[in-house]
């Protein structure tokens, strides 16, 4: 099972204009399988956005082999430079779990926020 929660239409106060902004992603993974088959699965977490015509992306992967007693947790970020007041940004978050050899078990993203025009994740004030 995979799950994504994401910010939606939040105001962010900049320290200056322009400013550099850190877009975070808190992640958690869990693999309680016993006698794991396939032996390894990969949990992939990704942030994608575009600001001022420049794409920004970053991803992190965690490989598990089952028998986890508690979830693993971490966070990472992508830094967006040159952000100015009175602008906004949409951030696309995605998560997938796949076999080490390729096949995707499940995936989810926050694309439900995109009909028919992108709703901003962050508004810069």
Identify the band that residue 14 occupies on the pLDDT scale cut at 50, 70 and 90.
very high
In 23-113, which ranges are continuous DSSP H helix?
none
Q: State the pLDDT at residue 36.
A: 65
**pLDDT of 117 above 60:** no
**pLDDT of 51 above 70:** yes
Q: State the pLDDT at residue 59.
A: 96
What value does the mean pLDDT take over residues 37-54?
Answer: 89
**pLDDT of 116 above 50:** no
What value does the mean pLDDT take over residues 84-98?
Answer: 91
Domains of the chain: which residue ranges?
10-124
Q: How far is Cα 73 from Cα 27, in angstroms, rounded to an integer?
A: 6
What architecture does CATH give domain 10-124?
Sandwich (2.60)
Place of tokens 């991803």: 59
Q: State the pLDDT at residue 40.
A: 87
Of residues 104, 88, 83, 93, the one with CA closest to residue 38: 104
**pLDDT of 12 above 70:** yes
């Amino acid at each position: 099972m995979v799950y994504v929660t994401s910010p939606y239409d939040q105001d962010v106060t900049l320290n200056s204009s322009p400013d550099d902004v850190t877009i975070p992603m808190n992640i958690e993974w869990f693999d309680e399988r016993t006698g794991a088959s396939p032996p390894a699965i990969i949990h992939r977490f990704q942030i994608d956005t575009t600001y001022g015509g420049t794409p920004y992306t970053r991803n992190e992967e965690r490989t598990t082999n089952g028998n986890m007693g508690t979830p693993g947790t971490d966070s990472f970020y992508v830094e967006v430079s040159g952000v100015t007041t009175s602008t906004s940004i949409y951030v696309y978050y995605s998560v997938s779990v796949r076999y080490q050899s390729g096949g995707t078990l499940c995936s989810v993203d926050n694309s439900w926020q995109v009909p028919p025009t992108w709703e901003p994740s962050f508004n810069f004030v």
